[in-house]
Amino acid sequence: MSSTPDLGAPAQRITVDVEQVRRLVGEQFPQWASLPIRPVAKSGWDNFTFHLGEAMLVRLPSAAPYALAVEKEHRWLPALAPRLPLPIPVPLAQGKPGADYAFPWSIYQWLDGETASAERVVDPVRFALDLAEFLEALQGIDSADGPRPGKHNWFRGATLRTYDALVRRALTTLDGRVDVELAREIWNTALDAPWDGVDVWFHGDFAPGNLLLDGGDLAAVIDFGTCGVGDPSCDMAIAWTLLKAEGRQAFRDRLSVDEATWARGRGWALWKTLIACSQADDDAFRVLDGIFSEHGG
């Protein structure tokens, strides 16, 4: 019997409002109780985020599985930050359950920037090189005692076979709407691509929503909830989910990515994109076109 975890069931999310956050902060961090609190415009799915004054944010997991990352972030982000070429979130305080909220939570320094998109990037090749240089620095940090793949990060950094059932389910749903045979070929190639087994640090969700721009240039990398040590190919997915052909090649060359890692990275991109396509995301179909066009090259 397979030991692959079942990731098909969605996490049971809760809701959090401004008054609840105000009570949590007031009870546990009275020095900040007078600061205004308002929701962040794009809060994300795994966590609810709220501005706390002008220079901080409150980050609260939206479900029990996402709360598993809180301790990890408080342990490791202060250690990673000084070794990276761009700002990342560094926790200022860790909150406890309270005020009818059941999970640990965090207060972070606020990082300014616009969410990355292809249209906002000024120089696509320079941007791709900046992404690669960030990952190169991250992968170069000592991975000893770092968090291995598990429930805390939805098994990022582990084998792609973790997601095999979800991919095949999505392909069944999408049959007749996408080239299912080509998708299966890309997926099977990724599953068969070997990993050398050397653990390195990875971000785990190196995606447009977690990259911040300043004036069209990469300015910060946020949301390390899925970070860990293991196979870094999951971070290669950005090559297809955001970069175009020229930037993709510059990214690969700068990181000196071998064929097997590149194939696994395409597999991570395919998994993420197929799931979005099965949820009728039009942008995902455009990403899928890029994944298909790059197959074999």
Tens digit of pLDDT for each residue in 240-281? 999 999 999 999 999 999 999 999 999 999 999 999 999 988
Q: What is the pLDDT of residue 2?
A: 36
| pLDDT higher than threshold 80 for residue 176 | yes
Q: What is the pLDDT of residue 1?
A: 31
CA-CA distances (angstroms) from residue 61 to 103, 154, 224, 284?
A: 7, 14, 13, 26
Percent of the chain having pLDDT more than 70? 96
Q: What is the pLDDT of residue 253?
A: 98
Mean pLDDT of 90-109: 96
Domains (ranges, CATH) in the chain?
A: 18-111 (3.30.200.20), 115-293 (3.90.1200.10)
pLDDT-derived band of residue 12, with 50, 70 and 90 as boundaries? confident
Q: What is the pLDDT of residue 44?
A: 79
Q: What is the pLDDT of residue 99?
A: 77
CA-CA distances (angstroms) from residue 30 to 27, 51, 206, 234, 244?
A: 6, 16, 35, 40, 48
Q: Which long-range contacts (CB under 8 A, 24 or more apart) does 171-179 make?
A: 171/274, 173/278, 174/274, 174/277, 174/278, 177/277, 178/274, 178/277, 178/285, 178/288, 179/292
Provide the whole-model pTM.
0.94
Q: Which residue has the higher pLDDT, 158 or 7?
A: 158
